[in-house]
A = this chain, B = another copy of it.
């Protein structure tokens, strides 16, 4: 299917992600109607910025949409999916923008009957949130994971400039545990340990700054990630700690030169692909 089949898209949760998806769709040439489902205060700001064409309660929006895009915190996505499904026309596509995928896809498998669900995770963001920060270019050059193939959604993901990645939910959660959730915990733990040494700040330089930047993140987005991805995070943390314990033993050995070369090569590879 080429693009252009959707005529109405609803965005449930018009914040940074949902608002940016709406703006990006429009900039990419989407000609249909975009309906916002959010609090009155958010709807007012979204209208003022031209992010949405209309605003409706979830049941009415779902009933007339070809796509329902759920851009809410993970626990809210979990609770909203049955409600969305109850109101959509048969065959309507439902997707989400949550940062973990297995719990959400399992919930959809159990509760999405009328609609068709494809899990999504745009790996994009900003330090500030809210529809005020919505940006048509937020997804440009960034990975956008889908948990299964869906031609029209893939078409628009490519049109908005994102890099499409198809990953099953288990694999997605395992990989983001390693590249995102474990780095957050490392940064949090290191900031705490450094913070417990009174004079450490006097000699801290760019290395400490690099590694504690993530520790500045607010907890609210992490609560749901930890509650829905604890198993994968535990496994990835275990692998990281085991490697660090090996380095601790190898510290003065000649193998460390090879370890550094190997790690530098992996770090360069991460940068090449971005």
Contacts and interface: CB of A to CB of B under 8 A. Distances in A.
A267 to B, nearest CB: 4
A205 B192 CA distance: 24
Chain B CB within 10 A, most for which of A218, A227, A271: A271
The secondary-structure label for the interface of chain A is: helix
A259 B192 contact: yes
A222 B175 contact: no
Contacts of A243: 189, 192-193
A186 B214 contact: no
A217 interface: yes
B183 A208 contact: yes
Nearest to A266: B195
B263 A191 contact: yes
B189 A247 contact: yes
A165 B202 contact: yes
Contacts of A179: 194, 200, 203-205, 207-208
B234 A251 contact: yes
A237 B193 CA distance: 10
Chain B CB within 10 A, most for which of A167, A193, A237, A265: A193
Contacts of A145: 203
A209 B211 CA distance: 10
A182 B163 CA distance: 34
A110 to B, nearest CB: 22
Contacts of A222: 256, 260
A104 interface: no
Interface string A148-188: 00000000000000010101000110011011101111111
Given A142-B205, A194-B179, A210-B214, A188 B263 contact: yes
A273 interface: yes
A178 B199 contact: no
A226 interface: yes
B178 A207 contact: no
Given A239-B193, A263-B188, A230 B205 contact: no
Nearest to A212: B267
Interface of A: 123-124, 142-143, 145, 163, 165, 167, 171-172, 175-176, 178-180, 182-197, 199-205, 207-219, 222-223, 226-227, 230, 233-234, 236-241, 243-245, 247-248, 251-252, 256-257, 259-271, 273-274
Given A207-B214, A223-B256, 13 more contacts: A167-B199, A175-B202, A179-B205, A180-B203, A183-B207, A185-B247, A187-B267, A188-B259, A189-B247, A192-B259, A209-B271, A230-B252, A241-B245
